[in-house]
Amino acid sequence: MFTRVARRAFTTTRVNPYKVTVLGAGGGIGQPLSLLLKLNHKVTDLRLYDLKGAPGVAADLSHIPTNSKVSGFAPDDNGLSQALSSTEVVLIPAGVPRKPGMTRDDLFSINASIVRDLATAAGEAAPNAKILVISNPVNSTVPIVAEALKKKGVYSPNRLFGVTTLDSIRASRFISEVHGTNPTQEHVNVVGGHSGITILPLISQTKYSTMDKATKDALIHRIQFGGDEVVKAKDGAGSATLSMAQAGATFANSVLSGLAGERDVVANSFVDSPLFKSEGIDFFASPITLGPEGVSKIHPIGEISSEEAELLAKAKETLKKNIEKGVQFINN
Ligand code: NAD
Ligand code: LMR
């Protein structure tokens, strides 16, 4: 028999009233991401901003009977600062996507200034917000956000995340295809960054560590270049949007769970990290624990094989250049 207090503890559903803002909400990622956030009961105030289309997306989503209010903002009438005002979580999928033949780094010339300006606005209107960067090239846009926030005097390493969840969900899916297993039961620790060879799936840490070399190499390559598969199939119409929306919503939910004080919320993300700082690499993707302040713990990458050590060395060379490029964009 439960006491009255115990029974209440079992029946009460705690609703956490979180304000979440999507910058670039009218785009290919922004729209389905906003839909998934509208379905998340941790979100009670969803603000959508884009250069075009956000009020329409907000009106559409506002008819869904979940507990959040949805508002759309346009650039006129101070829309950006209204969308950001005292918000707790900001997701940034604003910017241009790749076309076939382009690398993510080719997007730098357009997306760097978009991300800088949005980060600066976030630093002014929501200095304590957790910022989740989706816009590519993530290896450079995350350092850009860090430097923009430093210029505003509001940078905290705990509050900035490069969203690399798409690499994790691809790894689960692709490894399950190789082994004929249930992808929801597969987990691969994907570390490094978010482009080509900087994406490092640690297959040696899975139960498939002894798979034959050719199959393993093909799997690693597919995880590293999964984005290209979608870019090629979309044939000029952009890159991954729906799987990215799912990935972004999953990671945002982890951040919100951490804010809500849930325990042992662990996800991989590209963050300001001590792991390889001594080698001049200030940002690195690895498992992190999320808590009320954002990043509460950065976990080491764990034991790796000698082949993975070689891949890591190559990943670090590229990462270092990508990160420096972002930092220099703001400081020069
Ligand atoms: P998209 O062109 O469909 O949408 C981008 C949206 O950003 C557009 O609606 C555009 O109006 C808006 N936008 C542009 N400048 C803006 C600004 N200054 N303020 C507000 N909104 C602005 O592109 P998409 O397919 O949604 O991709 C967006 C970005 O996400 C790209 O850079 C892409 O490479 C990246 N991406 C990252 C990942 C990842 O894993 N991190 C995965 C897929 C795509
Ligand atoms: C992805 O991994 O799908 C994204 O980074 C988009 C891209 O350009 O491939």
Q: Which CA distances in Å does 56 have to 27, 31, 185, 214, 217?
A: 12, 10, 38, 49, 45
Domains annotated for the chain, with CATH where assigned, are 18-163 (3.40.50.720), 165-331 (3.90.110.10)
With a 6 A CB cut-off, is 163 part of the ligand 2 pocket? Answer: no
Evaluate whether 83 touches 16 at the Cβ level (below 8 Å): no
Question: ipTM value of the model?
Answer: 0.99
Catalytic residue among 179, 187, 194, 299: 194
Residue 16: predicted pLDDT:
66
Evaluate whether 295 touches 267 at the Cβ level (below 8 Å): no
Phi/psi at 279 (5° precision): -100, 10
Cβ-proximal residues to 92 (8 Å cutoff; 6+ apart), any chain = 23, 24, 115, 118, 119, 131, 132, 133, 134, 135, 141, 145
Residue 1: predicted pLDDT:
32
Q: pLDDT for 210-255, tens place per residue?
A: 999 999 999 999 999 999 999 999 999 999 999 999 999 999 999 9
Residue numbers in the chain where pLDDT is lower than 50 = 1-13
Q: pTM for the complete prediction?
A: 0.96
Evaluate whether 92 touches 118 at the Cβ level (below 8 Å): yes
Please confirm whether the linkage preceding 137 is cis (ω < 30° from 0). yes
Evaluate whether 300 touches 312 at the Cβ level (below 8 Å): no
CA–CA separation, 160 and 294 (whole Å): 8
Residue 17: predicted pLDDT:
87
How far is the centre of ligand 2, averaged over its atoms, from the C-alpha of 197 (Å)?
A: 13
The full DSSP string for 238-300 is -S--HHHHHHHHHHHHHHHHHHTT-S-EEEEEEEE-STTGGGT--EEEEEEEEETTEEEEE--
DSSP 208: T
How far is the centre of ligand 2, averaged over its atoms, from the C-alpha of 327 (Å)?
A: 22
Query: Catalytic site residue 187?
Result: no
Q: Measuring from atom 18 of ligand 1, which residue has the nearest CA?
A: 114
DSSP 182: -
Q: Which atom of ligand 2 is nearest to the CA of 244?
A: 3
Cβ-proximal residues to 309 (8 Å cutoff; 6+ apart), any chain = none
170 annotated ligand-binding residue: yes
Beta-bridged to residue 190, according to DSSP, are 201
Q: Which ligand is nearest to the CA of 195?
A: 2
How far is the centre of ligand 1, averaged over its atoms, from the C-alpha of 136 (Å)?
A: 8
Q: Which ligand is nearest to the CA of 108?
A: 1
> Which of 172, 165, 90 lies closest to 132 in space, CA to CA?
90
The CB-side HSE value for 168 (13 A sphere, CA atoms) comes to: 24
Residue 127: predicted pLDDT:
98
